[in-house]
């Protein structure tokens, strides 16, 4: 999953990291990001906010425009940090619900979590993520193993 899907952010990004991500997503070097690209850039920094609140935060930051400057983008990142959007708590809660007291869940149950919770992922994308993480549909998976696999860079 790592590099494809980030589940947690251990600490706030540095100002240099924020600037670097902004520049990477400012494909036309205009000094502004369309809100949709800004949302993707926030996720690239390791935050996992739901789309609706993120768009709302971006909309407030942009003061009616559909683009964000670097200053507005930094404010958006700060808001994500304040609201705890880099946390794994929501995902852990869903994971625990599927465990039903068992020590693990299956790859199929993880796929259900990925495809039905929060931002709905397509089944095809869920299958690709499981394949990248080398998790079979019948494979047992503990929370700790899931975190380890999700934070490991993809080498395939």
pTM for the full model? 0.52
Determine contact, residues 74/61, Cβ cutoff 8 Å. no
Determine contact, residues 72/62, Cβ cutoff 8 Å. yes
pLDDT band at 59 (very low <50, low <70, confident <90, very high): low
Instruction: For residue 11, give every residue at least 6 positions away whose Cβ sits within 8 Å of its Cβ, in sequence order, or none.
Output: none
pLDDT confidence of residue 128? 83
pLDDT confidence of residue 20? 92
As given in the structure block, the two tokens for residue 103 are: 């020590």
pLDDT band at 92 (very low <50, low <70, confident <90, very high): confident
pLDDT confidence of residue 7? 45
pLDDT band at 2 (very low <50, low <70, confident <90, very high): very low
pLDDT confidence of residue 119? 59
pLDDT confidence of residue 31? 93
Q: Whats the size of the chain, residue-wise?
A: 156
The pLDDT tens digits for 8-48 are 455 778 899 999 999 988 988 999 988 878 878 887 787 77
The pLDDT tens digits for 100-140 are 888 888 889 888 877 776 556 788 888 887 887 788 899 88
Query: Tokens 């709302």 appear where?
Result: 56
């Amino acid at each position: 999953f790592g590099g494809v899907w980030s589940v947690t952010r251990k600490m706030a990004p540095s100002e240099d990291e924020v600037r670097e991500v902004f520049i990477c997503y400012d494909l036309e070097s205009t000094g502004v990001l369309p809100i949709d690209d800004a949302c993707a850039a926030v996720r690239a920094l390791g935050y996992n906010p739901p789309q609706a609140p993120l768009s709302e935060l971006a909309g407030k930051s942009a003061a009616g425009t559909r683009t964000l400057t670097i200053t507005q983008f930094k404010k958006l990142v700060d808001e994500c940090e304040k609201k705890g959007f880099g946390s794994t708590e929501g995902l852990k809660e869903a994971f625990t619900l599927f465990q039903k007291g068992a020590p693990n869940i299956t790859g199929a149950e993880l796929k259900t979590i990925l495809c039905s919770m929060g931002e709905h992922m397509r089944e095809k994308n869920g299958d690709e993520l499981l394949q990248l993480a080398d998790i079979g549909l019948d494979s047992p998976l503990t929370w700790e193993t899931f975190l380890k696999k999700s934070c490991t860079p993809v080498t395939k």
